Structure 1
Amino acid sequence: MASQGARADPVASREESGESVEGSVAPASAGRVEVGRESGGADAPPSPGGAPVAGLPPEYAQIFQMAFQVQAQAQAQLLAQAHAPAPAPVPAPGPIIPIIDCNYERIRKMGATEFEGTLDPEVVERWWEKVEDVMNLVNCTLENRLKYIVSLFVGNALIWWRSVKRGYELRGITWAEFQREFDDKYRPKMYRDKKRMEFLNLVQGDDQTVAEYELRFAALAKYAPEAIVTPEDRCYRFEQGLRPKIKKGLAVRITNFKTVVESAVRMEEAVIEDRRKWKRRENQHMQ
Structure 2
Amino acid sequence: MNRCQKACASLLVKALPDFLKCQPLNFKGTEGVVGLTQWFEKMESVYSISNCTVACQVKFATCTLQGNALTWWNSHVKTTTPEAAHAMPWRTLKKMMTDKYCPRGEIKKLEFEMWNLKVKGNDVVTYSQRFQELALMCDRMFPEEIDQVEKYVGGLPDTIHGSVMATKPKTMQDAIEFATELMDKKINTWAERQADNKRKSDDTARNNQSQQPNKRQNTGRAYAAGNGDRKPYGGPKPHLCPNVIITMSPCAPNASKCKPNCH
What's the TM-score bracket when you normalise by the shorter of the two chains? 0.5 to 0.7
Alpha-carbon distance in structure 1 between the residues aligned to 2:112 and 2:204: 47
State the Cα distance separating 1:278 from its structure 2 match. 6.1
Contact 1:100 1:138 in 2 (8 A): no
User: Which residue of 1 is the match for residue 47 of structure 2?
Assistant: 135
> Closer, same or farther in 2 for the Cα pair 1:254/1:124, shift >3 Å?
same
User: Which residue of 2 is the match for residue 213 of structure 1?
Assistant: 127
Looking at secondary structure, tell me which structure has more helix per residue.
2
Answering whether residue 97 of structure 2 is matched by residue 182 of structure 1, we say yes
> Closer, same or farther in 2 for the Cα pair 1:277/1:214, shift >3 Å?
farther
Alpha-carbon distance in structure 1 between the residues aligned to 2:82 and 2:139: 34
> After the TM superposition, which residues 129-168 of structure 1 pair with which residues of structure 2 at under 5 Å, given as runs?
129-168=41-80
**Which residue identity does 2:32 align to in structure 1?**
D
Alpha-carbon distance in structure 2 between the residues aligned to 1:197 and 1:164: 31
Contact 1:102 1:140 in 2 (8 A): no
Match of 2:157 among 235, 243, 246: 243
Instruction: Give 3-state SS (helix, strand or coil) of 1:145's partner.
Output: helix
Alpha-carbon distance in structure 2 between the residues aligned to 1:230 and 1:114: 28
Identity %: 22
Please list the CA deviations of residues 219-239 of structure 1 after superposition, one character each: whole Å capped at 9, or x if unmatched: 3344357559465972x5444
**Which residue identity does 1:181 align to in structure 2?**
M
State the Cα distance separating 1:111 from its structure 2 match. 0.6
User: Which residue of 2 is the match for residue 263 of structure 1?
Assistant: 182
**Which residue identity does 1:263 align to in structure 2?**
L
Contact 2:19 2:52 in 1 (8 A): no
Contact 1:103 1:148 in 2 (8 A): no
Please list the CA deviations of residues 37-89 of structure 1 after superposition, one character each: whole Å capped at 9, or x if unmatched: xxxxxxxxxxxxxxxxxxxxxxxxxxxxxxxxxxxxxxxxxxxxxxxxxxxxx
> After the TM superposition, which residues 1-287 of structure 1 pair with which residues of structure 2 at under 5 Å, given as runs?
103-169=15-81, 172-173=84-85, 174-176=87-89, 177-206=92-121, 208-222=122-136, 223=138, 229=144, 234=149, 237-244=151-158, 246-247=159-160, 250=163, 253-256=166-169, 257=175, 258-275=177-194
State the Cα distance separating 1:128 from its structure 2 match. 2.5
**Which residue identity does 1:202 align to in structure 2?**
L
Alpha-carbon distance in structure 2 between the residues aligned to 1:139 and 1:107: 8
Alpha-carbon distance in structure 1 between the residues aligned to 2:51 and 2:74: 26
Alignment RMSD: 3.9
State the Cα distance separating 1:108 from its structure 2 match. 2.0
**Which residue identity does 2:133 align to in structure 1?**
A
**Which residue identity does 2:98 align to in structure 1?**
D
